[in-house]
Chains A and B, each alone.
Chain A
Amino acid sequence: MIKSFSTIKWIFILLLLPLSLSLQAQETPTPDGKALFKANCASCHNKNMVADMTGPALAGVQDRWESEELLYSWIRNSGAVINSGNSYANTLFNKWNKSPMTAFPDLKDAEIEQILLYVNGIATGEGPYAPKDIVVSGSSTENTESTGNNYWQYGLLAVALLILSLVLARIINNLKYINQVKDGEAPAKRTTILEQLTNKTLIGFLVFILLLIGGYNTVNNAIDLGRQQDYAPEQPIPFSHEIHAGIHKIECQYCHDGARRSKHAVIPAVNTCMNCHKAVKGETETAQKEIQKIYDAAGWDGTAYTGETKPIEWVRIHNLPDHVYFNHSQHVVAGGLDCQTCHGPVEEMAKVKQFSPLSMGWCINCHRDTEVKFNDNDYYKAYDKYHEDLKSGKMEKVTVEDIGGLECQKCHY
């Protein structure tokens, strides 16, 4: 019985494998308005849609044009529309100091529609919308399966397999019974389904499986306790690194000046913000409202400092436990790492999130692999044996691990 059961189990598992693989067939990503907007429009058009930037605010853009076709052709090639003598097009061109809009000849109708839908969604405050099914000329109009569908397929399969296993169990049982009768073992006994289901081995096996899953989950959840990868809290000022570091390309360490000389990278003091924002007052109402918060914090009344300050309470995103010592300058200056190595593409983040898990395993893995720039720093001259080994080719590279980067008291003291 036990043997047969386990055989069946293995058969099932083997059956399951290809099935599950086939169910994970890749879906082509749907181009949505937000992504298209970001990729094509956001560098000139304000993404709040109501304020002007390099280009005009896009809210109500469809109403301003006499026809949808004209707008579409304007987007694909504004120069052609202007040359065609359209009056609105020329007014617009002159209003924006005769700087033409970048042409997007490759945008398909459906894509422009998506962009406009997104623009309207933001402008009307209905928020980013769920992308409508796109009808892209030349592509099929198949409905893509939502991922939820997979689950009931799995469920169906599981039920089928369960029935199958029950049936098989009954068959085996019957065969056994037949054998017993044949061998003349008396009294031959047929086990009922209930007996089979409450079989000690089966219950034991189920308990074992449950414990295994439970334990696995407990361990995983326990490890995740206190970790907050992807943590992206609301901040008192919705400061956008995308604008500052991405678009305006402000050096990270202009504001986070502690990174090169201290353990803390440092959230900049308000007076660092004021270096620029004394002049940059914001072009839109939203921007002005947020920049006003800086003025309030710094006690700037528009002409002078009042002395009444109100520090900004930022929500701290990257939190290490108290028993971990981490030093930014060690990594940024001595190690020569880019900020993005640990913090991810911050310059693309409108709202900063914790990019890395900041777990010990993550630290350790990096220390194992990272090569120390051994020859450009006189400090490492103390490691004479490694220098010999490097010269003789015995070592290819010296990693952080080799100079003690995995030892406890590099981070815990």
Chain B
Amino acid sequence: MNKQDNNIWVGVEDLTNDPQYLENAKQEFFELPIVDALSKEASVIEKATQGASRRDFLKYAGFGLGAATIAAGCEMPVRKAIPYVVKPDAIVPGVANYYASTYVRGGDYCPILVKTREGRPIKVEGNTLSPITGGGTSARVQASVLDLYDTARLKGAFKVAKGKKTAATWKSIDEEVARFLKPGAQVRVLTNTIMSPSLKAAIADFTTAHPNTQVVTYDPVSVSGLLDANSANFGQRVVPAYHFDKADRVVSFGADFLGTWISPIQYAADFAKNRKSDDYKTATMSRLYQFESYMSLTGSNADNRILVKPSEMGAATVALYNAVAKLAGQPTVSGSKINATAATAVASIAKDLWANQGKSLVISGSNDVAEQIVVNAINNILGSYGATIDFGKYSNQRQGSDAAVQALIKEMNGGQVDALIVLGDANPVYDLPNGDAFKAALGKVKGFSLSTNGMYNETSEACSLLAPDHNYLESWGDVEAQNGSYSLVQPTINPLFDTRSALVSFLAWAGNSNAYPTVMPAANDSTAVAAPSVVISDRPEYDYLVKYWQSNVFGKQSKFSTFQGFWDSALHDGIFEANVTASVGSFAGDVAAAATKVSKPVSGDALEVAFYESINIGAGQYANNPWLQEMPDPVTRHVWDNVLCIPVNWNGKKSYKSLNKLKDGDKAELTVNGKTYTFAVVRMFGMKSNTVAIALGYGRTVDGAVGVNTGTNIYNALKVSKSGTTQYFATGATLSNRKGEDHDFACVQHHHTMGLTTKEGGKDGGVRKADNKAKDVPFYVDEEILAYQGTLVDRSVIRTSTLANLKDDVKDLVDERHHHQHLNDQTLYPGYKDIYKQGHHWNLSVDLSACIGCGACSVACMAENNVPVVGKHEVSIHHEMSWLRIDRYYYGDSENPNVVYQPLMCQHCDNAPCENVCPVGATNHSSEGMNQMTYNRCIGTRYCANNCPYKVRRFNWLDYTTADIFPWNEPTLKDGDEQAFGADDLTRMVLNPDVTVRSRGVIEKCSFCVQRVQEAKLTAKVERRKLRDGDVKSACQTACPTGAITFGDGNDTNSEVHKKMADKRNYKVLEEVNTAPSVGYWMKVLNKNSDLV
């Protein structure tokens, strides 16, 4: 293999051969939890610590046996079967129905299919008809179905006084609203981005009735700067359409467009399109340059990362402008100096961009108007407008204005606001830099303040009325995510609680009594509040929506002559595409003026902080979703907390040095903008020295039990710039030395590693000595010194290449595999392979070049397979239950490494090491090549997990699913929780009825979504046809936004997966140990600019 591959590592511990790490890597189960688990009762803790644990164990075991006997001795319970009275035609009990709908939350958007069973949504899939997302999803979309069954949802209308809420009737809410909506009342509607045209129309109706209404839009993580810049340069305050699929060169200044920036599902899908090739010999790829200070998801997928401090970002933008302008023969502008490495890189990047005019794209995640103007100017010179950027099909996904919400605070303080309606997810008290100021101002609203959030949050607590909206799975609605791209939201379940669509609320408050049930008198009727009028329609939001579409959307097409035909088609497809002409937009802006306004680099070693939106829980609105909390952050691999990323560097001699000598899990105090916060830290490679990074969205104080006090809120450390936009970095921060330790530090980085350490093969125990040849490169390996990275390099775990070396590397890979296969063929049991040649043989292929590590697959897997949530403490002791983990490996230069993400699920080995160690035959092989796990046979010896080289088997140490009869086996997610997560009937509604809920004491693992396989096979049998390729798609496959995962029948020579497995880029993990896995990986290929090292 190429030398480059010799540098692969997962963290500091394995590079330095940390003794604890080596110990953990050796043992599958490094910590037996039995005493710990049983010792939840205080008395047991004492006994356990007195060393009587064995007796305790026997005592409990004896009691358990006795209780089980008594339980089993009872008669079978009488079970009832209660059929429908009138069965809906569409529902066949036991058969899933899919409805096209749209996931929308603020600016997050995804057209979806909702899988319902017996009228109950249980899973979300991407809608492949969508030209925007192409069927991809994100972790947030996958987890959204759990929000529907959140026990913390508001179950009706409430009135709030002094932070206490009391249940109220909708009538009383409407009356209260009417009392203050006097003619001339100053009403403000505060909202996050609204993409629903019908909701906007309803608000417009409301505004007609109450003319002094103003809508204030803001986004918790804002792109105000971009919008304002476009407004200044193009006269359109919109996010244009970015065509990553048409861009051969992409430069991103800190925009995490694959993770969180504006429309990540769409961008990831488009980006991946331009990075995949059917034939490696003719492969072409786009190239991504990422300027950033910390390792973002996008940065980790970049071909070249250029490290700049957050404060240098503006100067770097100007430097690139100047370099490009010079090449274009245009005047340059004055700019500040940036660090030398970056400056060299900028010159090289400019050359590359200039050579790819019209095929390049520059974006910036900065929220500074001036920087965005400079970026617009670069794009203008490069001819990106009309080629890779389109103003015709602009995006509606961010519309917020930071200045507007700040102005609102002033208005409220000035007593100029009579009523404030906070719409949907907007939670300004929590997520504004000056949330406290907002809260104080809220008290000065003269009439009422009302929140329509379905949850009780920080802002609701400060409001006086709560009029909760439906969950999106219960509502009718529409979305226009991009100009002319419509999609419909349709309910898949009746509202679970006494909630009301926000649209209906607005209509009711507008006094529109013609078509909507309303208790409101007309606004100008100043007489007493009228009695409730007659309910005319039982679904007014539907009527309103249909009417809106009939008059506003129907005319945008010519395919259907009747509205009903159009509506049925749109509802069936979930989407409707109107024809929109592309618009180049003409750039007009003063770059020189903007260049003077960009942020100035702060010189010296003062610590700088980058704040970023978390991939899992966004700006904080997803904090109460345990699936997202338990999904490891792709890059830090941390769960249930926001941890401070600190840089770690090679000290040039023997070891790695981290900031303030902090280690993973140490707590330290970060002082920024005069405020001090305590965080656990995690050492990250590829960070600019003297910078740290921290995720926003954690530390909610009013939320469901899951979200409250998980992590630390740092929104109030943000600053608003002079131009009125929130800045997502801070300078002049300080970090303390170690201040204790997070005992439940839950970073899955080193959990379930493949047991490969750097020690093996080392001559001197693995600690690398200074080496003449190595110069400053910390782990240069040649044939003589195999000390470093012995096994992780030699074993086929990760294979990487670059576009330039692809042909050679493929040849090496083929040779290597041939060698392995030759050795493996020398078997005592020849001819065993033949039995898999007929029927089906299920295979799964992962393209590591396409995988961006976003985690959508891992959440989809949890949703599909009823994988339990275990909580932070359990994760911290290696008890996470995820069937599909995404391993993150660094490779290349230790100061600025590249990253490869490897989704690892059960490899379904045809020579499975787990199968032959099971004493009870609970795991064995099927004729279709599946490694079967039979829970009811498993007795929990865990031999299989111990013997699995991939470490993909999970043991139910405790009763995570609350399936047992003994409550003390159930772990709570947090101390103080009254009951285990999922112990209530509401949350259990999300369970997939086709997958067994596992009990305590059994092993579980990826099943290749066998329930989907069986279902597809049955459908084919019933239809008397052959199984077609694409009939079976695993949950991870359908979730993937980039199409990195392919599942199918490897025996079908026409199947996609067969072709993928036969491709020369394909390799199998640990093929040399002859496990014969059914999962293949395509090597990770980068398109690095060789001028930049």
Contacts and interface: CB of A to CB of B under 8 A. Distances in A.
Contacts of B935: 323, 412
A330 to B, nearest CB: 5
Interface residues of A, number: 56
A314 B80 contact: yes
Contacts of A404: 839, 926-928
A386 B82 contact: no
A378 B1026 contact: yes
A314 B995 CA distance: 25
B936 A334 contact: no
A257 B76 CA distance: 28
A313 B82 CA distance: 5
A378 B1010 contact: no
Given A379-B1021, A383-B839, A413 B996 contact: yes
Contact of B83 (A225, A226, A270, A319): A270
Interface in B819-842: 837-840
B86 to A, nearest CB: 5
Contacts of B1021: 330, 333-334, 377, 379
Given A382-B1026, A404-B927, A323 B996 contact: yes
Contact of A378 (B838, B927, B1025, B1052): B1025
A404 to B, nearest CB: 4
B78 interface: yes
Contacts of A272: 87
Interface of A is mostly: loop
Interface in B909-959: 924, 926-928, 930, 932-937
A261 interface: yes
B1018 A330 contact: yes
B808 interface: no
Contacts of A268: 83
A322 B996 contact: yes
Nearest to A274: B86
A364 to B, nearest CB: 13
Given A404-B926, A413-B1011, A382 B83 contact: no
Contact of A382 (B84, B1018, B1022, B1051): B1051
A297 B85 contact: yes
Nearest to A257: B92
Main secondary structure of the interface of B (DSSP, over half): loop
A322 B1026 contact: no
B82 A412 contact: no
B1051 A271 contact: no
Given A269-B85, A412-B996, A319 B76 contact: yes
B33 interface: no
Contacts of B94: 258, 262-264, 266, 327
B1014 to A, nearest CB: 7
Nearest to A228: B76
Contacts of B81: 267, 313-316
A410 B838 contact: no
B281 interface: no
Given A312-B82, A316-B80, A413-B995, A262 B93 contact: yes
Interface string A299-322: 100000000011111111001011
B36 interface: no
Contacts of B78: 233, 315-316
A334 B1017 CA distance: 10
Interface string A363-404: 000000000000011110111111000000000000000011
Interface string B973-1000: 0000000000000000000001111000
B1027 interface: yes
Interface residues of B, number: 51
A276 interface: no
A325 B994 CA distance: 7
A127 to B, nearest CB: 25
A269 B85 CA distance: 5
A311 B85 contact: yes
B3 interface: no
Contacts of A270: 83-86
A298 B82 contact: no
A403 to B, nearest CB: 7
A412 B839 CA distance: 20
A408 interface: yes
A222 to B, nearest CB: 8
Interface in B436-485: none
A137 interface: no
Contact of B840 (A226, A376, A382, A386): A382
Contacts of A322: 996-997
Contacts of A269: 83-87
Contacts of A251: none
Given A322-B997, A408-B934, A383 B80 contact: no
Nearest to B78: A315
Given A226-B76, A382-B1027, A413-B1007, A408 B83 contact: no
Contacts of B933: 408-409
Contacts of A379: 1017, 1020-1021, 1024-1027
B82 A311 contact: yes
**Most interface-central of A379, A384, A385 (chain B CB within 10 A):** A379
B95 interface: yes
Interface in A249-305: 257-258, 261-264, 266-272, 297-299
Interface in A321-337: 321-323, 325, 327, 329-330, 333-334
B92 A261 contact: yes
A407 B93 contact: no
Nearest to A314: B81
Contacts of A407: 924, 926-927, 932
B947 to A, nearest CB: 19
Given A261-B92, A262-B92, A267 B83 contact: yes
Given A263-B94, A327-B1018, A382 B936 contact: no
B82 A323 contact: no
Given A386-B838, A412-B934, A412-B936, A377 B1024 contact: yes
A310 to B, nearest CB: 8
Contacts of B85: 269-271, 297-299, 309-311
Which of A329, A382, A383 has the most B CB atoms < 10 Å from its CB? A382
Given A264-B93, A264-B94, A329 B83 contact: no
Nearest to A382: B839
Contacts of A264: 93-94
B93 A258 contact: yes
Contacts of A330: 1018, 1021
B72 interface: yes
A226 B72 CA distance: 8
B1018 A311 contact: no
Given A261-B92, A262-B92, A413-B996, A312 B83 contact: yes
Most buried by B among A263, A272, A298, A413: A413
B559 interface: no
B162 interface: no
A378 B1051 CA distance: 16
Given A271-B85, A312-B82, A385 B837 contact: yes
B932 A408 contact: yes
A8 to B, nearest CB: 40
Contacts of B928: 404
Contact of A403 (B86, B839, B1026): B839
B79 interface: yes
Nearest to A299: B85
9 contacts: A269-B83, A270-B85, A270-B86, A309-B86, A325-B994, A333-B1021, A377-B1024, A379-B1020, A408-B924
**Which 4 A-B pairs have CB atoms at the shortest separation, nearest pair first?**
A262-B94, A269-B87, A334-B1021, A269-B84
Given A383-B839, A407-B926, 19 more contacts: A225-B72, A263-B94, A268-B83, A311-B85, A314-B80, A314-B81, A315-B79, A316-B79, A316-B80, A323-B936, A327-B94, A381-B1026, A384-B838, A403-B839, A408-B932, A408-B933, A409-B930, A409-B1010, A413-B1010
